[in-house]
């Protein structure tokens, strides 16, 4: 930014004009701040000096449109090489569907924290939920009839705060205090947590034990016992199954585009013990599989030795990530079981079952499932109702004479 005093022609004759010269997207722009008479050079220089010593954000009367700013922000999101396309779509969908329709000012500089609190946040709370739909190899978000819950409200606000920080990085004037917004402790007191569908224990075990396909039976059994995320399950390689130690190493994963990610998982790499029966299924399938998915000459950084390596990985499960979600529904339908939620119920059931058994310590639970006790309590723990008979027997004794 440069501040200068120049002589300009005006209707009443020549004047001294204080101008701010600045760059926007590689283009030079000028903004006139104030004019003075030719005999007021001292006043003009005083203003020039004051503006030069001011923050650029406060000096320039910016007229940056929200639509332009959002489009520029989306370009940055889409250019990130380390983010999956589905997550990029999700970030943009949060803005476009839950935030953008509730922006009540045209220009960034006119939008204040009060606008966010009194207009945008209320709009977000009443926004409709989205559903990821994949058709013909392409995925997109579609609006549902119900309004979003607290998790999505928080996510939408977080994405907007990221946008505000993006504006700050570009030195675009907006009320940056929005990025410091926090929900009060009682903000969501009237929101009821939406309990997602879960199969009953007999239904889940029937899907596991009655599956005729050896590969799917091994996948379902491992999912139910380890509680691993689907991306981690499909990343299991032959070398990860340790028959001597009695478990599997969850070292690798795949993303939504089925790209193999060596030594990358969502939270932490870990070893998970499984049953002898599960290991036997692994042995049968790994010997029977004729054409396993093989990633040859993969170059990667081995975090155990902090060195680059190149080698081949042979995966146990020859199933794409979307295919696994569809196949478990088909397996359940064959048994007359309605199963709308893909592979995620296995993880919830496994965590809930281990919690009920009370065998593992909190630390062992953290290591087994790759999350914390608070996260498990908030998002995973379900009442599996496994003590129904004993409970009813006890209740029948309460008033028995």
**Domain assignments of the chain as residue spans, ordered by start:** 2-59, 66-180, 201-379
The fraction of the chain above a pLDDT of 90, given in percent, is: 64
- Is the separation of the CB atoms in 160 and 178 below 8 Å? yes
171 in the Ramachandran plot: left (φ > 0), alpha (ψ -120 to 50) or beta?
left
Question: What are the tens digits of pLDDT across the range 53-92?
Answer: 776 555 566 678 999 999 999 999 999 887 777 788 889 9
pLDDT score of 348: 94
| Amino acid 70: pLDDT | 96
| Segment 139-181, tens digit of pLDDT | 676 777 788 888 889 999 999 999 999 999 988 889 999 999 9
pTM of the model: 0.64
Distance (Å, rounded) from C-alpha 382 to C-alpha 198?
8
Phi then psi for residue 384, to 5 deg, are -80, -10
**What separation in angstroms does the CA of 294 have from each of 98, 297, 305?**
41, 10, 23
pLDDT at 101: 95
User: Which CATH number is 201-379's, of 1.10.443.10, 3.40.50.880, 3.40.50.620, 3.90.870.30?
Assistant: 1.10.443.10
pLDDT score, position 5: 92
- Is 344 within 8 Å of 293 (Cβ atoms)? no
151: exposed, middle or buried (C-beta count within 10 Å: 0-12, 13-18, 19+)?
middle
Which region among 54-63, 191-200, 330-339 has the lowest average model confidence (pLDDT)?
54-63
The position carrying tokens 């990343």 is 235
Residues 208 and 199: their CA atoms lie apart, in Å, by 12
Is 347:228 a contact under the CB 8 Å cutoff?
Answer: yes
Average pLDDT over residues 277-294: 96
pLDDT reported for residue 280:
97
- What does residue 346 show for φ and ψ, rounded to 5 degrees? -60, -40
């Amino acid at each position: 930014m440069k501040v200068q005093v120049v002589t300009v022609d005006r209707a009443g004759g020549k004047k001294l004009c204080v101008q701010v010269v600045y760059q926007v997207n590689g283009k030079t722009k000028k903004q006139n701040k104030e004019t003075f008479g030719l005999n007021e050079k001292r006043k003009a220089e005083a203003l020039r000096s004051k503006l030069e010593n001011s923050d650029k954000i406060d000096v320039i009367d910016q007229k940056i449109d929200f639509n332009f700013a959002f489009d520029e922000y989306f370009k940055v999101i889409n250019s990130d090489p380390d983010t999956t396309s589905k997550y990029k779509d999700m970030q943009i969908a949060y803005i476009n569907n839950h935030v953008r329709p509730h922006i009540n000012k045209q220009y960034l500089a006119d939008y204040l924290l009060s606008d966010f609190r009194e207009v945008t946040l209320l709009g977000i709370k009443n926004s409709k939920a989205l559903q990821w739909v994949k058709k013909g190899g392409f995925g997109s978000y579609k609006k549902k009839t119900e309004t979003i819950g607290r998790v999505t409200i928080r996510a939408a606000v977080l994405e907007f705060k990221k946008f505000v920080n993006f504006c700050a990085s570009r030195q675009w004037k907006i009320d940056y205090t929005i990025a410091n917004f926090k929900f009060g402790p009682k903000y969501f007191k009237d929101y009821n947590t939406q309990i997602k569908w879960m199969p009953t224990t007999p239904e889940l075990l029937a899907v596991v034990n009655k599956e005729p396909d050896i590969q799917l039976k091994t996948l379902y059994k491992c999912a139910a016992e380890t509680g691993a995320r689907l991306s981690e399950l499909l990343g299991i390689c032959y070398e990860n199954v340790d028959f001597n130690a009695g478990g599997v190493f969850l070292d690798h994963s795949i993303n939504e585009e089925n790209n193999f990610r060596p030594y990358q998982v969502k939270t932490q790499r870990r070893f998970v013990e499984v049953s002898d029966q599960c290991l036997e299924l692994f042995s049968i399938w790994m010997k029977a599989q004729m054409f396993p998915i093989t990633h040859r000459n993969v170059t990667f950084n081995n975090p155990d030795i902090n060195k680059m390596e190149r080698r081949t990985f042979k995966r146990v499960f020859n199933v794409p990530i979307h295919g696994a979600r569809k196949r478990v529904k088909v397996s359940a339908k064959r048994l007359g079981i309605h199963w709308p939620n893909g592979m995620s119920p296995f993880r919830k059931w496994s965590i809930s079952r281990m919690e009920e058994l009370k065998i593992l310590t909190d630390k062992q639970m953290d290591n087994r499932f790759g999350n914390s006790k608070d996260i498990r309590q908030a998002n995973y723990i379900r009442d599996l109702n496994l003590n129904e008979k004993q409970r009813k027997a006890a209740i029948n004794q309460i008033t028995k004479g």
